[in-house]
Structure 1
Amino acid sequence: MTSSTTTTTPEPQKPLRADAERNRRRILEAAAEVFGERGLSATLDAVAEHAGVGVGTVYRRFPDKEALVDALFEERIDEVRRIAEEAASIEDGWEALATFMERALELHCHDRALKELVFSTAHGQERVARARERIKPSVDRLFERARASGQLRDDVDVTDLPTLQLMVTAVMEYAHDVSPDIWRRYLTLLLDGLRARHTPLEPGPLSEDQLDGVMARGFHMARG
């Protein structure tokens, strides 16, 4: 009896673990899409429906929305760190730093809920501190390489980077529907501000009508 019990007990657990992991992945992917489209006001019921699972399955994996947001944010931080590590493999120090900045901002562009994940929940500041601790060593190395190559201004600090990113993500937010890639123009301007050599600006500037629409949207969003 003991032998029979020992050999059969683990067998049903393996598919359960695999199913649980598949459901967790499905829920995270659905949450990324739902929060990206609707913001964090979307409910766990909406996430469950998009994932094609029962809401009870969502609650078994994540006891509340905050836990789901935490898991989603951790995945984004892992992705940013991966981008930094991949950029570090580029031989030229300046190109490595510029590539990291561009690819990290592309992540924001394709996941417009990312800023809300950071700033719109109870533990936003904790998430920012945790993210900085995990990413900073990789980004520090990129800054130091660019500085050592003589291509980065001596008075620029790695702590300037979050503010620069925030500036560009604001352009993404306000101008996305008008000119989705316009943020690249302003990223180029910012990068040129970090070094002496200038780079051609792409894409072209907004028209006056487009600028009026973007400014009006920014005004209303700031008031709201």
Structure 2
Amino acid sequence: MTSTKVEQPASRPLRKDAARNREALIAAAREVFARRGFDASLDEIAKQAGVGVGTAYRHFANKYELAEAIMEQAMESVVGQAEAAARAEDPWQGLVEFLEAVLELQTSDRGLREVLMGVHDPAKADAAHDLLDGPVTALLERAQASGDVRPDANTSDLGFLIMMLCLVADISGDETPGLWRRYLPTLLAGLRPGGVDESVPPMSTDRFRAAMLAHKAMAVKAAQSRC
């Protein structure tokens, strides 16, 4: 017996007004999540976007679906920044500018920070980090080849550097939103050859990923317990 492949109907493109509403909801979610993180509700986002609550729920079943749409846009931007930084004439300056751009993005946007930390969906955050692995590795290896970065550094060092400075942003909040910039030069100095004691090896990339997944799972559990 031969099997017959059932053709799935192609999804219809959104009408212009529906597409506008969807983009308005995403833009509003960026603003609301940036201020309040995932404490915000889809109803609040609909109000900010100037659309009805029913319209919001026709596009997104819940605020986490909206978060996924935001993350896709953000990751496209970050990957593009990493690729552009890898083409910089000065490898060290390219790495520094990339880190500054990522930190500016994450420290100024609480919601995006929660998304990338996997507060509500570790698996999706991990998949997003997969997209960054190649471009960031190329960026780091280029700076190592030029002698600007210590040879034992790896991408887990960059990940921890970003997380440490995001914690500064979490604690300092709106009082001193740019305080992370005070500590960035100190951490960058640690990436330089001979800048610090190199007797402690970096965490391997695999162990870093496993540790991050475990941390994110704990964050999800804590968030669910508050609901």
Quickly name the TM-score band, shorter chain normalised. Answer: 0.7 to 0.9
Distance, in Å, in 1 between the alignment partners of 2:69 and 2:149 is 35
2:148 matches 1:151? yes
Q: Which runs of no fewer than 5 residues in structure 1 stay unpaired? A: 1-12, 199-223
- Correspondence for 2:124 among 116, 124, 127: 127
Q: Which has the higher relative contact order, 1 or 2, with Cα contacts under 8 A spaced 6 or more apart?
A: 2
Distance 1:44 1:177, change over 3 A: closer
- Correspondence for 2:173 among 176, 183, 190: 176
Deviation at 1:17, TM superposition (A): 2.0
Q: Deviations over 1:17-62 (max 9, x none)?
A: 2222211110001011111222212111111000000111111111
- Correspondence for 1:164 among 151, 161, 167: 161
2:61 matches 1:63? yes
Percent identity between the two aligned chains:
42
Distance, in Å, in 2 between the alignment partners of 1:154 and 1:58 is 50
Q: Deviations over 1:175-215 (max 9, x none)?
A: 233432221121111111101598xxxxxxxxxxxxxxxxx
- Correspondence for 1:105 among 80, 92, 103: 103
Q: Which residue of 1 aligns with 2:199?
A: none
Where does structure 1 differ by over 6 angstroms across 4 or more consecutive aligned residues? Answer: none
Distance 1:138 1:182, change over 3 A: same
- Correspondence for 2:75 among 74, 77, 90: 77
Distance, in Å, in 1 between the alignment partners of 2:194 and 2:181 is 17
Distance, in Å, in 2 between the alignment partners of 1:163 and 1:197 is 19
**Number of aligned pairs?**
184
Give RMSD over aligned pairs.
2.0
Q: Which runs of no fewer than 5 residues in structure 2 stay unpaired? A: 1-11, 196-225
1:6-25 aligned within 5 A? 17-25=15-23
TM-score of the superposed pair, with normalisation by structure 2? 0.75
Distance 1:30 1:173, change over 3 A: same
Distance, in Å, in 2 between the alignment partners of 1:173 and 1:113 is 12
Distance, in Å, in 2 between the alignment partners of 1:39 and 1:45 is 14
Q: Deviations over 1:127-146 (max 9, x none)?
A: 22111111111111101110
Contact 2:144 2:151 in 1 (8 A): yes
TM-score of the superposed pair, with normalisation by structure 1? 0.76
What secondary structure does 2:39 align onto? coil
What secondary structure does 1:68 align onto? helix
* Structure index of larger Rg: 1
